[in-house]
Structure 1
Amino acid sequence: MTEERSGFPDRRALLGLGTIGVAAGVAGSVLRPQPAHAADPVTSVNGKTGAVVLTATDLDAVPTSELRSFVTVASPDRFPGIDPTGAAECAAPFQAALNAVAPGGTLFVPPGRYRLGASLQVPPNITISAPHRQAVLVRDGHKGIIVRAYGSHSAPIQTTENPARVEVTENGQVTGVMQVRLASAPNGWNRGDIVKIFADDAIPGSRRTEGASSIPRVGEYMRIHSVSGTTVQLNGWAFENYTSNVRLAKLDDKTVAIDGLAFDVSDASFASTDAPECVLRCDSLRSPRLTNVRIIRAAGIAIQMRSCAGYYIENAEITTATDNPSAGVFGYGIHDVSCNGGLVVGGIARYVRHGYSDKSTEVPANSQNTMMYGRTLFPRITGMQVVGASSAGFDTHQESYGVHFDGCIARATTSSGFSLRGSGHRLTNCSVIGGPIALQVFTETSGGRGTGDTRHITVDDFRTEDSSTVVQCSIRESAHDQRGIQDTERNLTIKGLHARGARRLARITNARVRITDFDVTASDLPEFAFIQNTNSRLDLIDGLVDLEAVTKVENNRNRILRSTTDSPSPGSRVLIRGLRVRASTFYATQCAVGPFETDVTTDIDAQVEMETPFPVMPGNLGASPRCTFGWTTWVQEDSAASLSSSGSATFINAALSGSLRAATRAPDELILLLATLSDGVSRDLGKLERGRKLGQRLSILVARADNGATLRVRNGSAYGVSLGSQSSITLGNGGQLHLFWGGSTWRLLS
């Protein structure tokens, strides 16, 4: 990250200003060096006064004429009407200063506040330098962009056939190229040029309004490998699939660089409820570069990068941006619209809607507006911080692909730290502090037809503190075309999750999610279901759920995991391995019906380690034939709860004639069913359901039978037991019966 420096000019600024001052000596400035310093020959010496007259050549300085060929100073002396005090509007003379900069040159903007009543257009291939953010451009009296830098594309050329992936050999190396045949030979296209390939195909997974003629359509930038007549080969293979009205257009070689410039809007502009344009926009450029830019106030979008082939934004500071969606005002900090390969390094955005967001433009078929095609592809945002966002700190839209957030921090959000739609996104070493949701992954349905999916999101080393819900993955909900149908591909993978002060670990709906290597510490008043799973495939591998500090709950029917269905749900599959649960005795007693609950549509295979004994374990498990639940408890004292595990299950009185699933769903090699007839009533044992593995053994022990009560075990498939020739076996106090699972029934072990 670029360091913030003091308010003094840096070395480059001093050199520039010094050169200007020295050049002024050509016009007659008189310098009086000490005699001892006048060792070298000089142009002239005044014989009467001894004054030495030095020229630019004497000092090895740059003459004014040469200096002005590459550095232009936006000063009132050079451009009358420019007013750094802000007293007078000065858009026209400021535009004149921009127009005076030679290609490849620099406009130096001295400190001051420059009030602009119209937008400024930056000529291509120049640099604007205003070190240390002391020069502020202020929008006043208009709703347009403050500064816009626009590139251009050549006229599109139609293809005669769909692009093809081919391999070519060059210098003994085989490389993949995209071969395109055009309707006419391009003029002036050369190896190394950048072109946009685009078509009328809809962007896969995009949000589209039913029946709309304008929709998000595919497009991306590629580099020319070779040109031969009407055949163009592009380096690499295209990311998108192009089939409908495919065209190519060359991106002209234009860029800009802006360093240290600051922007603001007038009080009236900031208070206006009308939808304005953004503060700064770069459009259709090759790798524009923004460094140390500051947005003091933005009425809407601060920085927008549109249809650029790469961009670089370093150490941007966005202080505040008005966010009023009902009035069409969206306070985005950095907004990527259909760019490829952008890079954001460092920077901070405060009090915005999103610190970073992206979007694709809806465009009609066969449009000539090349820049409106395509989606955000593979940008990287590293080391950026967002504070006090009015919505998600970091946000992606349904069309974007491959956004990588690295080392980013979202603080005190009112919605979520990261809100991800689209596919292929990645989070590494990111953190969220506060807010209702730390990480939200979902499919878009609001404001249009839900047709897309959000898939293949990967998260590594994610930290949260005091976020109510750590992970929420909501797929195909509400108005989605496939509402309630579980996705067929992995939506979210998390490896390395560290959360403190959470009320809920996860809420998963219609998704496929895998979370590994996690530790989550709960706050007081945890949600009724700490993990809520609905119609999803959920893997929980190697993690700790820590409820030890919980002293308050909303009711006494809490769950650690609850899995349910959602119409027209096919059901859930839950895999748990290496899960450790730590809880206060208070919380354990508040799970009155057990900490785990599944319905009949949930297939679960679990291995859980309980540090704290729970009075009821594991809880209400649904009658799914693929339900296996293993658990152990740390031995803390010589009590029934502390010594119990899934390898033993106690059934008391009437429970002996009901479901025995708590015993037969255990994966243990040896299972002990403890029968207690403390009410003195003789009973028939209920049906034993299917075992979990061949050869699994089940021992039935009548641990207590008051008043001579007995327990009868019956023979037959209706009871799940095969006793050979015996119709039943009756057990009294201390009686035992040993069975093994033979694959279809529990058989008597002789």
Structure 2
Amino acid sequence: MATRVPIANLKGPQGIRGERGFPGLNAVPTDEAIAELLGAPDSFTGGSLRNVLPSITGSVNAADFGVVGDGVANDTAALNAAIAATPTGGRLIIPAGTYKLTQPLIDTGRSMQVEAYGATFIQSAAVPAVRFAGQWEASKAVTGAVEGTTTGSGGLLPTLTISFAGTVPWTRGDLVKLWGDDVIPGSSADITPAPASSFRVGQFFTVASVSAGSAVLLGKMRDPMTLGLRVARMSSHVISWRGGTFIGAAASPTGMFVFQALRAPSVQDVTIQNATGQAFSMAACYGYLVDSCTVDWALDDSGAGAYGYGVDDNTSEFGLVRGCRFHQPRHGYSSTGSTATVGQDAPMPHGRTYGARIVDTVVIASSSAAFDTHATGQGIVFQNCEATDAPIGYQLRGNRNRVIDCTVRNAERGVRMASDANAGQSWGHTIDGLYADNISMVVVEYVTRHGSTHPDFGVRDQRPSFVSNIVAREVYGRAFTLLNTTLNAADVDIDFSGPMDNVRALARVQDAWLRCTGEVRFELLNGVTAAPGGSAFWVTGAGSLLETTRLRITGASNMANRLSKVIATDGTPTLRIDDLLIDYFPSTGTINDPTTASSWVHYRAAVGIGGTTSFFFPLTVATNRDTLTNIVARTFEDVVLQFTLAGAQTLEQLPVARLGQKLIISNIGAGTLTINHGATPRTALNGNTAKALATGQAICLIFDGVWRQVTFI
């Protein structure tokens, strides 16, 4: 058994030339002796070792401040004392244990690193578990702001020179925020008259140089800022929190882990269970990092003010969310904004969320969009992320946000680009690389200005968004739904499943433009035949445009039973369809007219109707001009018309076609088929006279401005 001796007696026999050493390994100090030693005055500083050691080693252990860690005792005060004792730039170690919190853990305005691996924190009151905040200096009124450039080693850099009265204590590299009373363009408050509390402009800049009455800031002004400009410097202390599990107990609108006005704060290896509102709230931070964190559930109760976001990015810039997993949140990530009144002297609620990147992150079973941006979000990138079991995979509001090489599974909508119903804008987004699986409603939805009270309701937004490299399997709804938008698409491959009935359109373009390059392919092989009558595209509205360079509608022998036409139209949209390849000619043609005079659809059919003939179309009447236009004028290929007439009929007019188009007309019915000659029927027949085809006869025509009869070979 070890011998317990007082700390003062921990000396062995005296050596030949030195003091006495330790008596042996069996000597174990008592707790009382250790406490006495740590509390004893230091001979050099006069302070106790407990207070002196952190300044020497840079480290503080919360165990030295009376934490219990049994999950029952209230450890809030002891942990906050340990935080307060951590020196600037130092490290606080919170050992393994379970810590009950009744108030937030709060920093004291200094840089520090907290390591809490093995520690569990129980939030037992309706307050954040952690709240670390930076400070702002008193603001300065800005009397002028002029954009310019400065010379860097590789070229010119954008700058903003601001003017003010007096001097400021800034130095090169400091971070300042400029803000004003202008309403953020495209936000939901960007209406006339603007609400008293609106989303107002603000932006971070880096100080390049300072002189009396002015400063040069690095960066380009992203939104116009002209009214009531003010500027303030943000403190530069850096906070890093690593490790720990947090368990929520009560709804807290301010979230569990709150960072405010911090430069480059980071949270790593943290698990949050039962998040009471936002799990990680990053408000007006610059360059934050949320890395390798897990949220197992987040309360989504807007009535209680608890919005269950995994990461709530509120007016921060250049944040990074990396390698996280969010299970059952409202949104795994969401950019949000705060509102301010005219003249409000506070930098935090001003500005957009800008430049965030969310990479290698998974969201499972979200109650709303797995990944989301609000109308003030700009330049946000989702890369190599995955959304599973969600109403919406990726919802993009605001402008110029991107989805790159992402996945969505088991969702109603894959990507939704949309304004808010009655205000706000959504434009300029890019989706490049999306794999979607089991989508019940639509793969890509782009609807903007869609609420009846939206100030721009019914007006197409001409600023395009872009989608490319889209692969979707088991789609039970649509490939696209577009309203009041402009969308450029390239290389889209959609495999449709489910019933193909008379109300199903595989893509809807309403008062919108859809311009497709590369190949767009719709595969219908796995569709279930129900009541034929649907279409591949439904284009409605006189101002709508559908334009493709290569469109493939495939589905083998049953395709004709699953679509009645390729394109259905309402109003007079413009169609410019090049190189449409269909397995089988639909039962009522490629499109239904009317369309604009500048429309065309050039198709090729792989085989004929029903798989039993090489003819494009068997006709029982000779006077349906829309049908003839669909068959003859809307194809690159040579055409054979096979008439099966019960009685005598006359083919009065043929449509205009491409130069060199060949048309073979064959009569295999019981009645005579007469083809008129002249300008009205657009024919030039041999002998300048009409031709009557008896049963079994045929004629060959080639279009050279008119349909000219040639010798049938």
* Number of the residue aligned with 1:136: 120
Amino acid at match of 1:252: S
Residue identity matched to 1:369: A
Report deviation, 1:587. Answer: 4.6
**1:435 aligned to 2:423?**
no
Partner of 2:45 in structure 1? Answer: none
For 1:187-586, list aligned pairs within 5 A. Answer: 187-208=168-189, 211-266=194-249, 269=250, 276-413=253-390, 415-445=391-421, 449-450=422-423, 452-468=424-440, 469-479=442-452, 480-491=454-465, 493-503=466-476, 504-525=478-499, 528-540=504-516, 541-550=518-527, 552-565=528-541, 570-586=542-558
SS of 2:398 mapped into structure 1: coil
Find the residue that maps to 2:264 and give its secondary structure.
coil
Aligned partners of 1:343 and 1:380 also within 8 Å: yes
| Aligned match of 1:674 | 641
Q: Provide Cα deviations, 1:494-545, integer angstroms capped at 9, x if missing partner.
A: 2211111111222222222222222222222357111222222113331332
Runs of 5+ consecutive residues of structure 1 not aligned to the other structure: 1-24, 33-40, 57-62
Q: What's the TM-score, normalizing by structure 1? A: 0.83
Structure 1, residues 464-513: CA drift from partner, whole Å, max 9, x if none? 1112221111122123222222211112x122111111112222222222
Q: Which moved more, 1:629-638 or 1:390-399?
A: 629-638
C-alpha contact 2:11 2:20 (8 A) present in aligned 1: no
AA of the residue aligned to 2:289: Y
Q: Which of residues 58, 65, 77 in structure 2 aligns to 1:92?
A: 77
Residues 619 and 52 (structure 1), Cα distance of their counterparts in 2 relative to 1, 3 Å cut: closer
Number of the residue aligned with 1:589 = 561
Q: Is the 8 A contact 1:651 1:673 kept in 2?
A: no
Aligned residue type for 1:92: A
Query: 1:235 offset after TM fit, Å?
Result: 1.6
How many Å separate the matches in 1 of 2:566 and 2:526? 17
1:736 aligns with 2:699: yes
For 1:632-647, what aligned pairs fall within 5 Å after superposition? 632-635=604-607, 639=611, 643-644=614-615
1:102 aligns with 2:78: no
Measured in 1, the distance between the counterparts of 2:589 and 2:166 equals 75
Q: 1:39-58 counterparts in 2 under 5 A?
A: 44-45=20-21
Compute the displacement of 1:673 (Å): 6.0
What secondary structure is seen at the aligned counterpart in 2 of 1:45?
A: coil
* In 1: Cα distance, 2:398 partner to 2:681 partner: 50
Residue 588 (structure 2) pairs with residue 605 (structure 1): no
Equivalent residue runs for 1:5-20 within 5 Å: none
C-alpha distance 328-131 of structure 1, shift in aligned 2 (>3 A)? closer
Counting aligned pairs with the same residue, the percent is: 22
Q: Which moved more, 1:244-253 or 1:345-354?
A: 244-253
Determine helix, strand or coil for the equivalent of 1:418: strand
Closer/same/farther in 2, CA of residues 337 and 460 from structure 1, 3 Å limit = same
Give, in whole Å, the separation in 1 of the partners of 2:26 and 2:276: 61
What is the CA-CA distance between 1:690 and the residue it aligns to? Answer: 4.1
- Residues paired across the two proteins, number: 675
Q: After TM superposition, give the deviation of residue 615 of structure 1 in Å.
A: 4.7
Residues 159 and 49 of structure 1: is their aligned pair in 2 closer, same or farther, counting only changes over 3 Å? Answer: closer
Distance in 2, Cα, partners of 1:432 & 1:526: 23
Q: Unaligned regions of 5+ residues in structure 2, if any? A: 30-36, 39-48
Supply the distance in 2 between the matched residues of 1:630 and 1:170 (Cα, whole angstroms).
Answer: 53
Q: State the shift of 1:657 in Å.
A: 6.2
Instruction: Indicate the SS of the match to 1:310.
Output: coil
SS of aligned partner of 2:81? helix
How far 1:617 moved relative to its partner? 3.7
- After superposition, the Cα gap between the structure-2 partners of 1:392 and 1:169, relative to the gap in structure 1 and judged at 3 Å, is closer
2:25 and 2:556 map into 1 onto residues whose CA distance is 93
Task: Kindly report the root-mean-square deviation, in angstroms, between the aligned alpha carbons of the 2 structures.
Answer: 3.3
Q: Compared with structure 1, are the counterparts of its residues 727 and 367 closer, same or farther at alpha carbon in structure 2 (3 Å cutoff)?
A: farther
SS at match of 1:333: strand
Q: Secondary structure at the match of 1:341?
A: coil
Contact 1:304 1:336 in 2 (8 A): yes
**Alignment partner, residue 665 of structure 1:** 633
- Residues 430 and 461 in structure 1, CA contact (< 8 A), matched pair in contact too: yes
Q: What is the TM-score with the length of structure 2 in the denominator?
A: 0.87
- Secondary structure in structure 1 of the residue aligned to 2:281: strand
Deviations 1:244-272, CA, capped at 9 Å, x for gaps: 22222111222211110322223xx26xx
Instruction: Measure how far apart 1:407 and its partner are.
Output: 0.8
Tell me the CA shift for residue 83 of structure 1: 3.0
Does the 8 A contact of 2:358 with 2:382 survive in 1?
yes
Distance 1:656 1:407, change over 3 A: closer
**CA–CA distance in structure 2, aligned partners of residues 26 and 239 of structure 1:** 68
Distance in 2 (alpha carbons) for counterparts of 1:586 and 1:50 = 88
Matches within 5 A, 1:693-712: 693=658, 695-697=659-661, 699=663, 701-704=665-668, 706-707=670-671, 709-712=672-675
**In 1, Cα distance between equivalents of 2:486 and 2:79:** 56
